[in-house]
Copies of this chain bind each other. A is one copy, B any other.
């Protein structure tokens, strides 16, 4: 499994967000062993409420494919997706979600609920969690402890 390899790419994206002063979450979309979309959280810098890492990566992948259906693709993200991003993963028909660490406050892929495996919706994802979980949670913890220290 190359899960750790792709998660390291998502972590690189998360660090880019941190360097912009954004909550450090990063994501990549992988299709046929190739990165077809990458993204990091850009909510503040773009003033875009939907500018989460997952949405940026999904839109980039769809644009590259010329198709909103990301059939056969996997999304790697450092933090458990929120409801918006979980819904976007279902809507874009991503096959597999791999995330690093849980988000107990807003995560909707296991924590507050599980929108990516709702049998009533017309698509469900395979889910793997805990890949490079320490690095993924550390990058966020470090950001917030730096923020608190001013």
How many identical chains are in the complex? 2
**The residue from B65, B82, B120 contacting A87, defined by CB atoms under 8 A apart:** B82
Whether, in the assembled complex, A66 has its beta carbon less than 8 Å from a beta carbon of chain B, the answer is yes
Contact present for A118 and B122 (CB under 8 Å): no
A-B contact pairs, 22 of them (CB 8 A): A46-B68, A47-B62, A48-B59, A49-B62, A49-B69, A49-B70, A50-B50, A50-B59, A50-B88, A50-B91, A51-B68, A82-B91, A83-B86, A83-B87, A83-B115, A83-B121, A84-B85, A84-B86, A84-B88, A84-B91, A86-B87, A106-B121
Contact present for A63 and B47 (CB under 8 Å): yes
* Residues of A bordering B, CB below 8 Å: 43-44, 46-52, 55, 58-59, 62-63, 65-70, 82-88, 90-93, 105-106, 108, 112-113, 115, 118, 120-122
